[in-house]
């Protein structure tokens, strides 16, 4: 189990970035660029470049993921999207990983502006520029280029700063992958984030394993996009079945955010992921925002790596329970 790798999501200006960027318990740090652009991004890249980070840095680029391009007006229920869409209205739209919603009643400005029905007693969106939305209707069509001009500029800047490791969000077709690899260089290492039903279809019908190319079961959005909550299990199995090197990401160790100790369900989930074949895992954005929480989660993961590996070793080799440190401490 020493081969179990852990990734986290951080931003260079976080006060705890410096410590974790040199933490040998980590195998990678994902930089999520959703909320920053232009000069701010260049500033962050400079911080990262001068940080002396020993943990490899991966830069996340957004493909066809629907994201809010402007902060919503205070007096209207409207959103401006990064990609133009078409869908039959009225239809529900989900925000905040499914924790908030509204009824879409009209689409204007060539598919970019969404108009929602009034929500009595709950008039405003708790959503900001850069955040994602979910429209789960089968007739949804997302048009325009795969990569917006903003995303292309981010790629150019990342390449300028020497990035060769990337995540690509909302992969749905081989065309998405081919176009991205032309932009970042075919020698780059890329994790393809599978986050919806179309992405799962790509995994089953088009994905071809190549050096430097791995799938990522991005459960944060994938869980919202699957038809029923329990379908997440088969979705995750589909991904690891088609790529033994796939990463499992997000919606793990979440009880740490609400209580002082890690819950049993957290460790059981990690064990299930490991038993499915995952050898690379990544913690979600929210868990990584605060240094103490992240340190607790990384520590719990490290303990899991040691204890579950040893337990598994006992069941598969001639080693005995008496050789396990925690067993010896209790009963030795």
Q: pLDDT for 154-192, tens place per residue?
A: 999 999 999 999 999 999 999 999 999 999 999 999 999
- Flag whether pLDDT at 1 surpasses 50: no
**Does some domain include residue 70?**
no
Domain hosting 133: range is 78-142
Is there a single domain that holds both residue 153 and residue 89?
no
Instruction: Note the pLDDT of residue 323.
Output: 62
**Does some domain include residue 312?**
yes
Instruction: Note the pLDDT of residue 313.
Output: 54
Rounded to whole angstroms, the Cα distance separating 196 from 218 reads 9
**Does some domain include residue 331?**
no
Phi and psi at 69, nearest 5°, equal -95, -20
Is there a single domain that holds both residue 52 and residue 113?
no
Distances (CA, A) of 160 to 42, 164, 184: 10, 10, 11
Instruction: Note the pLDDT of residue 325.
Output: 62
Instruction: Note the pLDDT of residue 2.
Output: 60
- Flag whether pLDDT at 5 surpasses 90: yes
Per-residue pLDDT tens digits for 236-260 = 999 999 999 999 999 999 999 998 8
Question: 95, 112, 142: which is the final residue of a domain?
Answer: 142
Instruction: Note the pLDDT of residue 85.
Output: 97
Is there a single domain that holds both residue 26 and residue 100?
no
Neighbours of 132 (CB within 10 A): 22
Q: Give percent of the chain with pLDDT exceeding 70.
A: 91
Question: 106, 124, 142: which is the final residue of a domain?
Answer: 142
Per-residue pLDDT tens digits for 103-137 = 999 999 999 999 999 888 776 677 888 899 999 99
Instruction: Note the pLDDT of residue 332.
Output: 56
Question: Global pTM?
Answer: 0.91
Is there a single domain that holds both residue 40 and residue 116?
no
- Flag whether pLDDT at 145 surpasses 90: yes
Reported as type and span, the H/E element at residue 42 is helix 38-49
User: Is there a contact between 281 and 298 (Cβ–Cβ < 8 Å)?
Assistant: no
**Does some domain include residue 71?**
no
Question: 125, 142, 159: which is the final residue of a domain?
Answer: 142
**Does some domain include residue 92?**
yes
């Amino acid at each position: 189990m020493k081969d179990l790798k852990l990734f986290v999501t951080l931003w260079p200006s976080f006060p705890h970035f410096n410590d974790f960027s040199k933490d040998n318990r980590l195998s990678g740090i994902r930089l999520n660029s959703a909320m920053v652009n232009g000069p701010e991004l260049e500033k962050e890249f400079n911080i990262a470049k001068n940080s002396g980070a020993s943990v490899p840095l991966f830069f996340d680029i957004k493909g066809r993921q629907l994201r809010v391009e402007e902060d919503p007006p205070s007096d209207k229920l409207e959103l401006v999207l990064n990609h133009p869409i078409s869908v039959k209205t009225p239809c529900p739209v989900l925000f905040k990983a499914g924790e908030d919603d509204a009824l879409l009643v009209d689409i204007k400005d060539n598919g970019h502006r969404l108009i929602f029905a009034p929500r009595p007693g709950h008039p405003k969106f708790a959503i900001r520029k850069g955040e994602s939305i979910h429209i789960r209707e089968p007739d949804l069509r997302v048009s325009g280029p795969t990569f917006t001009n903003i995303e292309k500029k981010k790629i150019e800047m990342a390449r300028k700063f020497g990035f060769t490791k990337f995540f690509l969000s909302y992969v749905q077709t081989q065309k998405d992958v081919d176009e991205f690899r032309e932009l970042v260089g075919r020698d780059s290492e890329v994790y393809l984030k599978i986050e919806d039903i179309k992405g799962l279809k790509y995994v089953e019908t088009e994905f071809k394993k190549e050096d430097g190319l791995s799938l990522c079961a991005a459960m944060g959005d994938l869980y919202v996009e699957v038809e029923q909550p329990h379908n997440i299990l088969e979705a995750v199995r589909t991904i690891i079945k088609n790529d033994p090197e796939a990463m499992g990401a997000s919606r793990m160790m979440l009880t740490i955010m609400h209580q002082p100790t890690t819950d049993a369900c957290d460790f059981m989930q990690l064990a299930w992921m490991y038993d499915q074949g995952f050898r690379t895992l990544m913690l979600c954005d929210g868990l990584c925002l605060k240094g103490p929480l992240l340190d607790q989660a990384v520590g719990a993961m490290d303990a899991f790596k040691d204890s579950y590996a040893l337990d598994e070793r006992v069941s598969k080799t001639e080693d005995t329970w008496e050789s396990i440190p925690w067993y010896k401490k209790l009963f030795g």
